[in-house]
Amino acid sequence: MLDAFLFAANAVLPIVILIAFGYILKRIGLFTKDFLNIGNKLTFRVLLPVMLFYNVYNVDSLSDINWGFVLYGILAVLVIFFIGIAVMCAFTKDNAKRGSLIQSVFRSNYAIIGLPLAESLFGAKGAAAAGVMSAFCVPTFNILGVVALSIFNGSNEKGKIDVKKILKGIVTNPLILGTVAGVAVLGVRELFVLGNITFRLKDIEFLYEALGDLKAICTPFALLVLGGKFEFSAVSRLWKEIAFGTFVRTVAVPILGLGGALILRATIMPELSGEHFATYMGVFATPVAVASAIMAKEMGADDDLAGQLVVWTSLVSAVTIFIYVTVLRTMGIF
């Protein structure tokens, strides 16, 4: 039990510490408002797209995909997305808050916590399964994020659906472009394998290492910027939204997502095993994605609320992940 708790804490507390450090740097004057705004844009337009490209390209192979495993993950995210729209529209009439809350329902911190969490839970098999899922769930998260924030934001108080604006937001979104570029280059690599061509992107060593360096600084930099934008004064103003969004993300969504997977395993998909559930933990049980706060700022949603949800879901998930890991271990899945 203690090992499971320490594991969960070690997965999420480094995120909280970096956010806290960013807050301290702002308080002592090293982070200015202009720097934080520029840092937000840099993260959204450069660092996160590079990280997504790098992660997708480094998927081992697309040839051995368990499509049932992938399909359930994506369909469950879509179902949770639509449930989230209904629930959050009933919860608040503020469109800017709706956008941030809806993101908190479906958008997990998969790239930063989900991937290493899967590897920690089930070793190399967990890492491989999570890598395959990333090629599908990361684009899904970002497309749904664009849809949600295009409809629910501060400048669209009536919540009108502008299909043209949504499509434009999808095709120009840097996070989606980074992921699509990774899938495209991964596809070329697979063709090279079929054609017995030995050349790989890694052979352009200076480029590959530069991309790796940018990917490496993305997470800590994004968390420091998020911490710099964090305001304790917003907690009292937004406590109802924070409490409800945190509950939905850390309790309701994991129960739905993992519970559905357990039902599938017991009925029509007995092949679902430890590595698959380690991946589903990353999809459904991890806190809100850091990118959700960055995108909320860029697209006119309530970025104060989005940032608060990242922080508080990260804190609470240190406990809830421990609970879910313990339950699944008791059931013999891990």
pLDDT value at 94 more than 80: yes
CB 296 within 8 A of CB 44: no
Over the chain, what HEC string results?
CHHHHHHHHHHHHHHHHHHHHHHHHHHCCCCCHHHHHHHHHHHHHHHHHHHHHHHHHCCCCCCCCCHHHHHHHHHHHHHHHHHHHHHHHHHCCCHHHHHHHHHHHHCECHHHHHHHHHHHHHHHHHHHHHHHHHHHHHHHHHHHHHHHHHHCCCCCCCCCCCHHHHHHHHHHCHHHHHHHHHHHHHHHHHHHHHCCCCCCHHHCHHHHHHHHHHHHHHHHHHHHHHHHHCCCHHHHHHHHHHHHHHHHHHHHHHHHHHHHHHHHHHCCCCCCCHHHHHHHHHHHCCCECHHHHHHHHHHCCCHHHHHHHHHHHHHHHHHHHHHHHHHHHHCCCC
Cβ 208 vs Cβ 53: under 8 Å: no
What is the distance between the alpha carbons of residues 199 and 189, in angstroms, rounded to a whole number? 8
Tokens at 86, concatenated:
């209904």
Residue 254 pLDDT: 96
How confident is residue 2, by pLDDT bands cut at 50, 70 and 90? low
- Contact between 253 and 80 under an 8 Å Cβ cutoff? The reply is yes
Nearest to 280 by CA among 143, 115, 123: 115
* CATH number for the domain that contains residue 13: 1.20.1530.20
- Domain containing 240 equals 2-330
Give the confidence band of 263 by pLDDT, cuts at 50, 70, 90: very high
Backbone angles phi, psi at 288, to 5 degrees: -65, 140
| Average pLDDT along the chain | 85
Comparing 33-37, 38-42, 53-57, the range with the smallest average pLDDT is 53-57
Q: How confident is the model at residue 12 (pLDDT cuts 50, 70, 90)?
A: low
Question: Is the pLDDT confidence value at 11 over 70?
Answer: no
Measured CA to CA, the distance from residue 228 to residue 234 in angstroms comes to 14
Q: Which residue has the higher pLDDT, 85 or 331?
A: 85
In the beta sheet, which residues pair with residue 288? 108
Residue 324 reports pLDDT greater than 80: yes
With 80 as the cut, is the pLDDT of residue 229 above it? no
Locate 200 and state its tokens. Answer: 């790989």
- Report percent pLDDT > 70 for the chain: 93
- The letter for the amino acid at 49 is P
Q: How many domains does the chain have?
A: 1
Tokens of 159: 């919540």
Which residues make beta-bridge pairs with 108?
288
Band of the pLDDT at 76, cuts 50, 70, 90? very high
pLDDT of residue 4: 61
